[in-house]
Amino acid sequence: MPGYSPAPVDRAPARPAGRPAPARRAPRGTRLERWAPLVLVAPAVLIVLLLRLWPLLLGVNFSFTGDGDRNGTAVGFDNYVALFGDPLFRTALRNVGLLVLLLPVAVAIPGLLATFIHLKVPGHRVYRGVYFFPAVLSPVIVGTIFNLLLAFDGPVNALLGLADLGPVDWLGNPGVAIFTVVGVHVWATFGMALVVFLAGFSTLDSSLLDAAKVDGASLLQTLRHVIVPGLSRTIQFVFVTTMIGMLTSMFGLLYVMTSGGPAGSTYLPEYYVWIQQGQLNQPALASAASTVLFLIMLVVGLAQIAVLRRTGKED
């Protein structure tokens, strides 16, 4: 009821007349209690500082030194100049941009499937279990499976052949491979997002869906006006976690499926770091690439937090 407010209540009872004020507590106790929260928080803070932030600073510092003959020598921004002058690193950054563009697809797929499960299409109990299955597979297993399925002379091309379509070199064509790997990644990880969406649906008031049905809303209208607004916080959460996963968890798939190829077309900054440090013995350059990746994550993360906050205000 708008405008309604409960009657104000006394915050504290009046002290009975005549009784003396209680004595002040000992200063020693007060000081100890004031410091206790800091002491209790210290272990967690120290762990973050020592094992996360300090190594990060060391890494950033290392990125301003040289490799090979210049090992240990300060070189200013040479590594960053070399990074952005490397076509391979630019490809890696461009692929990050591509991942951001493909993000809506990676979120929409589990979202739609969760909607159908929630609306109880025939077989929804089976799908619920089946869709989560890929999420429990290791990326190496997933990569190996799809290497076989997507090989030039593999079953997928055999099926295309039956339909008189030309074979596609899914993993060997520079223009196609990145989409193939992203597709496999979405397949392998959408189960987790599906579970999050299903959890979100449990907080959606079912009477809203019933009301929409009574009013004759189509599926698309229900989706657009009831489900999406109702699950907006869930959608934002899935966006954030999916983006983080794409930027930091595709290494296994890349390594097994394409080795960053063909022609470097499926490099991501994470893979680039690994190659520069391990294969080409350029750890300082790899540190610079790590720093760039960290900054990318920071920007993307902050942007998404800002979006979350704005969404929260609308609620």
Partner 1 sequence: MKRTLFSAALTVALALTAGCGSAAGPAAPTGDASGKLVVWDWKSGDAKAASYVAKAKADFAKQHPGVTVEFVAQPYDQYYTLLGAAVQAKRGPDVMLFNGGGQIRDRVADLVPLDPYVADDRSRLSGWDAFSKDGKTYAEPVTLQGHPVYYDKGLYEKAGLDPAAPPRTWEEFVRDCGTISAKTGAKCLALGNKEGAGIQFWLSAMGTASLTPQEYTDWIAGKRNWTSPDVKRVFELWKLANDSGLNTDGPNSTAMFNDAFALFQSSKAANVIGLMSDVGHWKDFAEFLGADKVGVMTAPQVNPAATPSLPYDGGIGYAVAKSTKDPKLAADLVRSLSSTDALKSFYADSGAIAADTSIDVSAAGPAVATIVSEVKTGKPALHVALSSKTLDLMGRLSQELLSGSIGVDEVLQQLAASDKG
Residues that bind partner 1 (CB under 8 A): 26, 29, 32-33, 35-36, 39-40, 42-43, 46-47, 50-51, 68-69, 71, 88, 150-153, 167, 169-175, 177, 258-259, 261-264, 274-275, 277-281, 283
Q: CB nearer to partner 1: give 17 or 23.
A: 23
Q: CB nearer to partner 1: give 222 or 277.
A: 277
Residue that is written with structure tokens 């499960």 in the block: 117
Which three-class secondary structure state does DSSP give residue 65? strand
Q: CB nearer to partner 1: give 86 or 301.
A: 86
Closest listed residue to residue 146, CA positions, set 177, 105, 121: 177
Q: Least distance to partner 1 from the beta carbon of 21, Å?
A: 21
CA distance 106 to 244: 12
Q: CB nearer to partner 1: give 47 or 126.
A: 47
Q: Least distance to partner 1 from the beta carbon of 166, Å?
A: 12
Q: Least distance to partner 1 from the beta carbon of 5, Å?
A: 40
Q: Which long-range contacts (CB under 8 A, 24 or more apart) does 303-306 make?
A: 304/236, 304/239, 304/240, 304/243, 305/240
- Kindly give, in sequence order, each residue whose CB lies less than 8 Å from that of residue 140, ignoring residues fewer than 6 positions away: 252, 256
Which three-class secondary structure state does DSSP give residue 102? helix
Q: Report whether 174 contacts 283 (CB < 8 A).
A: no
Q: CB nearer to partner 1: give 63 or 258.
A: 258
Q: Least distance to partner 1 from the beta carbon of 259, Å?
A: 5
